[in-house]
Each structure stands twice: as structure tokens, then as C-alpha cells.
Amino acid sequence: MAKRIIKAETVQITYREAIRKAICEAMHQDERVFLMGEDVGRYGGCYAVTKGLLKEFGPERIRDTPLSESGFTGAGIGAAIGGMRPIVELMTVNFSLLAMDQILNNAATIRHMSGNQFGVPLVIRMATGAGRQLAAQHSHSLEGWYAHIPGIKVLAPATLEDARGMLWTALDDPDPVLIFENVMLYNMEGELPANAGPVNIEKAAIRREGRDISLITYGGSLWKTLEAAEALAREGIKAEVIDLRTLRPLDDTTIIASVAKTRRAVIVDEGWRSGSLASEIVTRIVEQAFWRLDGPIARVCSEEVPIPYPQHLEQAAIPQAEKVVAAAKNLLSK
């Protein structure tokens, strides 16, 4: 007797709507959850993620803040220690540097410095990346800096499922979690299972199986990397695409297993090359799988300049599918 296949109901949704839905449902389920940040209330968020939430939940739970990242991030840390589940939105990753002291010296260290007496169950969301012509103070990818800090988790959702589900998992974490949302993904649209829930934030994901070369990336660069893999496939090259998903802690097991199979790797990182997350991944591969490699490892990173405003220069400064294809073919030719 043939088995009956029941297709899960799906909804058509954008990346920003998936995040908004996750925030909304979390606030309905847990009265301790509240959101705070610049323009998150009446304006509806710089990228319209929080549009309508002020009307639904009121100013006690959707809090517009002054332009003081250090101040309201510190308030979020205090609220988390006091038993709340705050979501702090920092408008862009560039502005998060004004809150670096709170994140590094307080949020990340309080559990250690209190002898495990206190945790900071805080979620910090921020926009990252370039592509919208927002120039040098709004466009960089600095998540690799935060991945350097012990005591926090760093997430980079690239899919609709992760955009919705990672927030729920982060809110259940007893320690600080930073979520980096690439600005070029907010308009991305697709189908999401209506019953989608929390996702595992401890594992990288193989987004495309391959045997000839590993393309390792995260966030907004995932879709360019998948485009590159498709272009390579038309030339008979089967590339495996790894979506890191979590930048701290890195999933070494998935990375090393892929490289051990393909024996070649390209790391695609929208951060700058010097001192980059890509550099860390290269080092881990060399430390753990050097003798499995058939050649050097390549990196495709942003050019080492402030992100330009003109569109043609902005696009030239950040990783593109064509650059990934060229790097992969160069490795395979050696």
C-alpha cells in the first residue's frame, strides 16, 4: 500500500516578515520579551522589520530609545540580569561600535566575573553588509570582530527558516546572542512552513552537495556563493556550499568534513581580508586537515577600503559570484 505524503502548509513571506513574525510570536508567548532600539516603534524600524509592533504591544514593550547605543544596550543588559528577555536592535553594525564596551566588558563577561551567579540572556540584532549605497558609515561587515569575543554567540541567518527560527533559539539561551542580518536579504521572498519553529544554532548547513571544492560562507554571501556553484556546475565542477550560520562557535566538524572530501576550499567573507573571519577558518583547516588538502586555500573578501557610495564601486568592493568562480577555477587549475 502506497504511503500517503502530506505536504506541510507553507506561507509566502519575506526575510523581514519572518523576523517580525518571530518577534511577534515570542512576545505573545513570553511576557518577559520586549524590544528596544532607535526608531523601532513609531517609525517601524530602519528596515521596516518592526512595523506595526508598537500598535500591537504598546510602548512598554516596544521602546523607542535615544541615539545612545551604549546607554540602551547597557539597559538591556541590566534588564536581562533582572529576569527579562530583552531584544536590543542596533540600527547598523557600524553603530554597534558605540556599544562595544557594553557588549565586550559587560554582557560577555558577567557570568565569568560573577562566578556563574548571573547570566545575561540578551539578544542583540543588527543590520550588516553592503549593497544599498549607504556609504562608509552604514555598510561594513564587522561580525567577524564580534566572533572574536568569548562569552557570546554570533549568528548570521541567511535563509527564511533561520531568520525566523534563530531568534527563538537565541531567546532561550542563558547568555548573550548577537544576530547579524544582512541588509540585502530583507526583501528576499520565499515559502516558509507555517509551523516552522526554533532551529539548531550549533551546526553549519550543507546548502549544496559537491565533490570538487568546498565554498564556505555565511549570511548575504550565501546566495552569491550558490550562484557561483551553479556557474561552476555548468562547467562540470561540483562545488559543495557550506553555510556557516553560526560564526561563534564555529562548527569545525562540518567544515573539516567537507574539506576532507573535496580537498580544496574557498572562503567567502564580506569582511575585510586582514584579520578576518576567513583568516580564522583558513587557519583551522590548516591545523586540522592540512594533509587532506591538494592545494592552497583561497579567500574572497571585501576590498580593504571604506565601502564606497557609488554603486559600481560598492559592488566592486564586496564579494561577487564572478570573483568566487574565478577563485575556485584558479585553485582547481593548480
Cell numbers for 178, please give them.
Answer: 548577537
Distance CA 87, CA 137 (A): 23
User: CA nearest 229: which of 329, 319, 314, 160?
Assistant: 329
Cell numbers for 198, please give them.
Answer: 526554533
Distance CA 253, CA 169 (A): 21
Residue 264 CB-half CA count within 13 A:
19
- Cα 167 to its chain centre, rounded Å, is 11
> What single DSSP character describes residue 104?
I
Distance CA 177, CA 154 (A): 6
The yes-or-no answer on residue 69 being catalytic is: yes
β strands within 6-122, DSSP E: 10-14, 33-37, 62-64, 85-90
Element (H, E) at 300: strand 298-302
Size (the chain), residues = 334
Region at 144 (left for phi over 0; alpha for psi -120 to 50; beta for the rest): alpha
- Of the candidates 69, 143, 270, 280, the residue annotated as catalytic is 69
Angle at which helices 160-171 and 15-29 pack, to 10 degrees? Answer: 30
The yes-or-no answer on residue 138 being catalytic is: yes
Cell numbers for 289, please give them.
Answer: 586537515
Does residue 119 sit in helix, strand or coil? coil
Per-residue burial over 302-311, b if 16 or more Cβ lie within 10 Å, else e, is: beeeebbeee
Distance CA 286, CA 303 (A): 24
- Of the candidates 17, 38, 89, 138, the residue annotated as catalytic is 138
Distance CA 239, CA 242 (A): 10
Return the active site residues: 69, 138
